[in-house]
Amino acid sequence: MTPQELAAQLARILAEILEARGGGETVAVTEADTAVERPKNREHGDWASNAAMKFAKRVGANPRELAQQIAEAVAALEGIAKAEVAGPGFINITLDAASAGETARRIVEQGEAYGRSELLAGERINMEFVSANPTGPLHLGHTRWAALGDSISRVLRAAGAQVTNEYYINDAGAQMDKFGRSVLAAALGEPAPEDAYPGEYIQELGKKALAAIPGLPDLAMTDRAAALAAVQEAAYQQQLAEIKDSLDRFNVHFDVFFSERTLHAPGPGGEPSPIEAAIDRLREQGHVFEADDAIWVRTTDYGDDKDRVFTRGNGIYTYFAADAAYYLSKKDRGFGEKIYLLGADHHGYVGRLTALAGAAGDNTETDITVLIGQLVNLNGARLSKRAGNIVELDDLLEWLGSDALRYWLARYPADSPLALDGEKLRSRTNDNPVFYVQYAHARSCAVDRNAVAAGIDRSAFEPALLTHETETELLGKLQQYPGIVAGAAELREPHRIARYLEELAASFHRWYDNCRVIPQGDEPAGDLHRTRLWLNDASGQVIRNGLDLLGVSAPERL
């Protein structure tokens, strides 16, 4: 029996009791109200509920007395060994071994599906993250969002949502022009312009542009503007391709790369550009006004701290105007919730983006979510462009590997600042959690291999035999997994998966140390060994499922 099933039973029982006490008046009780917890103390049973304390006041009852009534009904359920009242009104529930052990078979049978749910079924979610300018390689500053965003997306999908991963390419505007001039100068061997992008990669892009565009030096002499345009475009495509390659190596996959340029471009028949159309739509809604020779949007109507401009004095659209058109594009493409994953250096955007959703006629509570993540540093050094000590994602992948990097970046809440220690990520002992978890998986695979050789198979399953303390503990952990995934999806916190996997791996190692699957010495193989093989395989399966949600591999050997 899983904790969710237990919670559902509890909710039913509690509702009946409250109805009887209230003279037939129904009281709504949800599974969330009766969610059970794994007590820290083993003497408090397998699962504990505080539902009696929560509801006692509401119905004017004595908590312990109400708990007692619930406990008696729970104890009568099939699969329950005992249910006791403790402390101020906790209900401590112990499953019988067979009921608890049944989980092992269920996990093996469900395989990859174990942990998936329909919690968010029917929801269409747009998940935008990374969105780094295509003017240079991805670096550590982007990696946290890449790892986190992709994992959130995987977790949401596991909860049944339909998610589109989207990367917004800032391929319009001054930064691109600067990028083009930088690469052109590099291609022609000219000194770098005053404000040029620094970095060796500019030289590389210059060489590639020179090779790709025949007669570039001549063209630059006769028509500088044409040469610049050609180089800029070639370098942009090259850089974007390299970014995609890096993300691919990082096991991060986008469904849509959305070009900002398309928002500025008029339609084929001269129709207004998406930006113009967006401004018109917002104007029709009464959110747009003109002042000081500029077009404004009244975001203060939706809680922003100041109104924002759509056009600069020179008539050019601001970045925010493109944001507005982009938001409307997402809305028009049928997405309900739009999630933005931004770095803490962009937290000032939360107010205006949220207001934009409101102005677009969306619900600012449910249709937009802006997740703000704190910044990362590695070995004590902040890795920012400004400081000049960029560490490129490709270098990090080569040094640390995708698995270690993804795992470490995903194992902390987004709002917690993160300090990575490069040596720790490389270590192959249990001070490196990714290794510890992967080792548990590899170990379960080793047991499988040995079981085959020893003639142990899954032809018998007697869950009532799984009575060792470490087996009860391991089964409890395995039962928690679906709830962990659901919670991670609801809260958009994939680090819960990582923390859970570390606990699961610890339970697995402890069990392995105490309970043998392969008989020792002359001991004959029995149903206990065969049943334990199910438990071993179930553990490996859950670790595999969990690591997949983090985009981390589960090798069979290390």
Partner RNA sequence: GCCUCUGUAGCUCAGGGGAUAGAGCGCCGGUUUCCGGUACCGUAGGUCGGGGGUUCGAAUCCCUCCAGGGGCACCA
- Least distance in Å: CB of 25 to RNA? 22
Pairwise CA distance, residues 496 & 487, whole Å: 8
- Least distance in Å: CB of 222 to RNA? 29
Residue 45 DSSP label? -
- Least distance in Å: CB of 500 to RNA? 9
- CB atoms under 10 Å from CB of 318, counted, come to 17
Inter-residue contact 58 to 22 (CB < 8 Å): no
**Positions 192 through 221 that interact with RNA (CB under 7 A):** none
With 0-12 / 13-18 / 19 or more C-beta atoms within 10 angstroms meaning exposed / middle / buried, residue 60 is: exposed
With CB under 7 A as the contact rule, the residue among 23, 24, 28, 57 that binds RNA is: 57
- Whole-number Cα distances in Å, 326 to 170, 499, 551: 11, 36, 28
Inter-residue contact 392 to 132 (CB < 8 Å): no
**Positions 160 through 179 that interact with RNA (CB under 7 A):** 170, 172-176
* Contact residues for 301 (Cβ-Cβ < 8 A; gap 6+): 287, 355, 358, 359
Cβ-based nearer residue to RNA, 210 or 554: 554
**Positions 249 through 278 that interact with RNA (CB under 7 A):** none
With CB under 7 A as the contact rule, the residue among 64, 71, 90, 390 that binds RNA is: 90
**Positions 345 through 364 that interact with RNA (CB under 7 A):** 345-349
Pairwise CA distance, residues 314 & 322, whole Å: 16
Residue at token pair 């008029």: 266
Pairwise CA distance, residues 385 & 391, whole Å: 9
* Contact residues for 346 (Cβ-Cβ < 8 A; gap 6+): 372
Which of the stretches 185-193, 220-228, 231-239, 441-449 binds RNA when contact is defined by CB under 7 A?
441-449
**Positions 497 through 536 that interact with RNA (CB under 7 A):** 499, 502, 506, 509-510, 512-513, 515-518, 520-521
Dihedral angle over CA of 225, 226, 229, 235, nearest 10: -120
**Positions 291 through 330 that interact with RNA (CB under 7 A):** 291-294, 305, 309, 311-313, 316, 318-320
- Least distance in Å: CB of 312 to RNA? 4
**Positions 118 through 157 that interact with RNA (CB under 7 A):** 133
Instruction: Record the tokens describing residue 167, joined without a space.
Output: 């990367």
With CB under 7 A as the contact rule, the residue among 286, 303, 417, 455 that binds RNA is: 417
Cβ-based nearer residue to RNA, 238 or 432: 432
Cβ-based nearer residue to RNA, 307 or 548: 307
- Least distance in Å: CB of 239 to RNA? 14
Cβ-based nearer residue to RNA, 241 or 316: 316
With CB under 7 A as the contact rule, the residue among 23, 24, 28, 40 that binds RNA is: 40
Which of the stretches 64-72, 216-224, 361-369, 412-420 binds RNA when contact is defined by CB under 7 A?
412-420
Cβ-based nearer residue to RNA, 236 or 435: 435
- The verdict on 435 binding RNA (CB under 7 A) reads yes
Inter-residue contact 442 to 544 (CB < 8 Å): no
Which of the stretches 112-120, 148-156, 262-270, 288-296 binds RNA when contact is defined by CB under 7 A?
288-296
- The verdict on 53 binding RNA (CB under 7 A) reads yes
Residue 27 DSSP label? -
With CB under 7 A as the contact rule, the residue among 191, 423, 429, 459 that binds RNA is: 429
Q: If binding means CB under 7 A, how many residues of this protein chain bind RNA?
A: 91
- Is 30 in a helix, a strand, or coil? coil
- The verdict on 283 binding RNA (CB under 7 A) reads no
With CB under 7 A as the contact rule, the residue among 17, 324, 410, 442 that binds RNA is: 442
- Least distance in Å: CB of 91 to RNA? 8
Cβ-based nearer residue to RNA, 119 or 256: 119
CA angle at residue 305 from 300 to 307, to 5 degrees? 50
Determine if residue 352 is left, alpha or beta; phi over 0 gives left, psi from -120 to 50 gives alpha, anything else beta.
alpha
Inter-residue contact 542 to 428 (CB < 8 Å): no
Residue 392 DSSP label? B
Closest to 154 measured CA to CA, from 68, 61, 242, 252: 252
